[in-house]
Amino acid sequence: MPLTALRPARWSWRTLLPWAVGLLPLLGGMAVMRWQAERELLEQSQAAAIQVLRQSELILDQLSRSAQALLPLAGQPCEVASLPLRAEVTRNAFVRSTVLFNHDRVYCTSLLGGYDEAVDLNDYTEGTLWLMNGNSVTPGHPLLVYRLGSAGRGVLVTVDSEHVLTFLRLSDPGLPVQIRVGEHWIGAEGQVRNGSPPSAIKAPVRMASTRFPLSVQAGFREDRTLAYMLGHYPALFGLLVMLGLLAGGVCRWQIRRATSPRAEIERALQANEFVAYLQPVVRRGDYKWSGVEVLMRWQHPKDGLVRPDLFIPYAEHSGQIVPMTRALMAHTAHSLAPFAPLLDDHFHIAFNITADHCRDLSLLDDCARFLAQFPPGRVALTLELTERKLIEPSPTTLELFDKLHDMGVMIALDDFGTGQSSLNYLRQFRIDYLKIDQSFVAMIGGDALSLHILESIIELCGKLGLGIVAEGVETAEQRDYLDRYTVDYQQGYLFARPMPVADFLKSLAARPSTPALSKAPPPEIIPD
């Protein structure tokens, strides 16, 4: 029901709010899910770090025990020591080689027997552990060397890094774990590197051994969180999407309901925004104001004064026209009744009534209430019926019209000649007046055929004994023509335009008792 020519904004709050409401549970739920996923990933990282640390300590304990057992051999000739060195390699699953050194030089190994190579204490973190990238026997193959001894004499026990790497590789690839010994570290890819291990972007966890100079670092990558959420809570994810759609849908429905034409009319009715404009009807001869037609206007808070053809058709369609007409009758009576002395006896007040209002007898009460506000005989109430919605001649409607006549209420047939059933109405209901539609009045001064039609209508009214009101009189030529054809009443811009009740009362009070016809029509009041 557009009330203005302006198109509604495409991105108004009405279109954006449902999206926002729909996204709210989705984003809120995702935030909670993300928090939960990060907590679980952190726990998993901690568990992985603890696991790797425990296994590393387990292996180092074995190396430590082997080193303790071999320490008394340090300094003894290689011929004596090489057999026990080899025996230790065989006995201990984790030990890959055993080496004796003296005066900070290796002099006997389990693999080669006598050997000579310098031992640099600086390679060993806290003099105990060295994570190296391979030795002369297996270059590029990482080893972990445990050193035990003092005063340049002692034992070196090595373990193949594969034993440790197995645990690193067992953990989730999205949860990287690294082992660090001093300046060296190794990850699941099996390469010893220098410097600090790259800390995992999210929640880095670091666990240091209390017995060995070794620590384990774990964590999870940023992109792991979303993958984890999708992989672990698919049902919850689906539920959130459904909740979002539902919330957005309900919001959209509520907005549409609240801003629907029906709701808008209901609101306007409660706010008394439907106001009466009165257009005088003049009688033949002296053109004195002998009545008014009450025309509805919508005093809209934003769109200003709205013409009836922009909202009456919708109100008729939605059935809201009945309470609107009822309110219009009440307001008109309320504002005119105090000025009843200004009105001549039998001053005609006409309301436009739709078929819906004639379905039951409530119209009788509305009319009785209206008339009760004026002194008896002061006003003559007329109801104008149109053919926009057909009135079915049921027992109720026939009773209604009979009782209306009994009350002195008159019935006028509006826009006569424009619809299909004007003549049917004349047969079925007791009609008092015909209102000749302005399209026929506009024919005056036109071709002969049009004038014949108009004259026939006037003649028909005379034969049926009906009163005639001609609408839309705009020129003196039309006025004089209708006068010649003894049309009882005239209405149109030539005499007066529809005006607010206050203006009507002011004009009425200012008019002489037998007023002369105002030559120029009063200024337009309605801002179209």
Structure tokens at 234: 């698919």
Interacting residue with ligand C2E among 66, 178, 354, 478 (CB under 6 A): 354
Stretch that binds ligand C2E, among 124-132, 258-266, 307-315, 482-490 (CB under 6 A): 307-315
Closest Cα to residue 216, out of 174, 188, 257, 246? Answer: 188
Stretch that binds ligand C2E, among 15-23, 194-202, 489-497, 503-511 (CB under 6 A): 489-497
How far is Cα 335 from Cα 482, in angstroms, rounded to an integer? 33
* By the rule CB under 6 A, 387 interacts with ligand C2E: no
Look at the block and give the residue holding tokens 């890094």: 161
How far is Cα 226 from Cα 231, in angstroms, rounded to an integer? 8
Name which of 222 and 528 has its Cβ closer to ligand C2E.
528
Structure tokens at 253: 């429905």
Amino acid, res. 119: V
Sheet strands (E) in 391-484: 410-416, 433-436, 467-470
* By the rule CB under 6 A, 492 interacts with ligand C2E: yes
* By the rule CB under 6 A, 397 interacts with ligand C2E: no
* By the rule CB under 6 A, 503 interacts with ligand C2E: no
Name which of 387 and 471 has its Cβ closer to Ca ion.
471
Stretch that binds ligand C2E, among 95-103, 148-156, 305-313, 391-399 (CB under 6 A): 305-313
Stretch that binds ligand C2E, among 139-147, 161-169, 403-411, 472-480 (CB under 6 A): 472-480
- The footprint of Ca ion (CB under 5 A) covers 352, 384, 414-415, 471
Interacting residue with ligand C2E among 321, 468, 470, 487 (CB under 6 A): 321
How far is Cα 249 from Cα 247, in angstroms, rounded to an integer? 5
* By the rule CB under 6 A, 268 interacts with ligand C2E: no
* By the rule CB under 6 A, 408 interacts with ligand C2E: no
Contact 110, 97 (CB under 8 A): yes
Long-range CB pairs of 237-241, under 8 A, 24+ apart, other chains included? 237/33, 239/29, 240/25, 240/26, 240/29, 240/30, 240/33, 241/26
The distance of closest approach from Cβ of residue 436 to Ca ion in the complex, given in angstroms and rounded to an integer, is 9
Sheet strands (E) in 153-285: 153-160, 177-181, 184-186, 192-194, 202-208, 215-220, 274-283
Tell me which of Ca ion, ligand C2E, none is bound by residue 307, counting a contact when its beta carbon lies within the kind-specific cut-off of 5 to 8 angstroms.
Answer: ligand C2E
Closest Cα to residue 457, out of 495, 423, 493? Answer: 423
Tell me which of ligand C2E, Ca ion, none is bound by residue 131, counting a contact when its beta carbon lies within the kind-specific cut-off of 5 to 8 angstroms.
Answer: none
Interacting residue with ligand C2E among 141, 300, 307, 389 (CB under 6 A): 307
Tell me which of ligand C2E, Ca ion, none is bound by residue 356, counting a contact when its beta carbon lies within the kind-specific cut-off of 5 to 8 angstroms.
Answer: none
Coil, strand or helix at 248 = helix
Name which of 316 and 384 has its Cβ closer to Ca ion.
384
Interacting residue with ligand C2E among 498, 499, 500, 508 (CB under 6 A): 498
- Total of residues contacting ligand C2E (CB under 6 A): 25
Look at the block and give the residue holding tokens 């006068």: 483
Among residue numbers 435 through 464, which ones bind ligand C2E (CB under 6 A)? 438
Closest Cα to residue 183, out of 175, 195, 174, 192? Answer: 195
Structure tokens at 192: 């010893």
Q: Which residues, other chains included, contact 321 with Cβ-Cβ below 8 Å and sequence gap of 6+?
A: 312, 315, 354, 356, 357
The distance of closest approach from Cβ of residue 498 to ligand C2E in the complex, given in angstroms and rounded to an integer, is 5
* By the rule CB under 6 A, 329 interacts with ligand C2E: no
The distance of closest approach from Cβ of residue 23 to Ca ion in the complex, given in angstroms and rounded to an integer, is 51
Interacting residue with ligand C2E among 92, 161, 352, 397 (CB under 6 A): 352
Structure tokens at 73: 């051999």
* By the rule CB under 6 A, 325 interacts with ligand C2E: yes
Burial class (CB in 10 A: 0-12, 13-18, 19+), 440: buried
The distance of closest approach from Cβ of residue 347 to ligand C2E in the complex, given in angstroms and rounded to an integer, is 18
Q: Which stretch of DSSP H or E encloses residue 291? A: strand 289-300
Tell me which of Ca ion, ligand C2E, none is bound by residue 279, counting a contact when its beta carbon lies within the kind-specific cut-off of 5 to 8 angstroms.
Answer: ligand C2E
Triad 283, 446, 282: Cα angle to 5° = 10
Tell me which of ligand C2E, Ca ion, none is bound by residue 37, counting a contact when its beta carbon lies within the kind-specific cut-off of 5 to 8 angstroms.
Answer: none
Stretch that binds ligand C2E, among 53-61, 113-121, 416-424, 492-500 (CB under 6 A): 492-500
Look at the block and give the residue holding tokens 């004796």: 100
Interacting residue with ligand C2E among 472, 478, 504, 505 (CB under 6 A): 472
Tell me which of ligand C2E, Ca ion, none is bound by residue 492, counting a contact when its beta carbon lies within the kind-specific cut-off of 5 to 8 angstroms.
Answer: ligand C2E
* By the rule CB under 6 A, 419 interacts with ligand C2E: no
Name which of 22 and 280 has its Cβ closer to ligand C2E.
280
Amino acid, res. 121: L
Contact 287, 517 (CB under 8 A): yes
Interacting residue with ligand C2E among 337, 493, 503, 515 (CB under 6 A): 493
How far is Cα 118 from Cα 89, in angstroms, rounded to an integer? 22
Stretch that binds ligand C2E, among 144-152, 237-245, 302-310, 422-430 (CB under 6 A): 302-310
Contact 417, 398 (CB under 8 A): no
Contact 280, 491 (CB under 8 A): yes
Name which of 129 and 468 has its Cβ closer to Ca ion.
468
For the chain, helix, strand, coil in percent to 5 are: 45, 25, 30
Positions that interact with ligand C2E (CB under 6 A):
279, 295-296, 307-309, 312, 321, 325, 328, 352, 354, 384, 386, 414-415, 438, 471-474, 491-493, 498
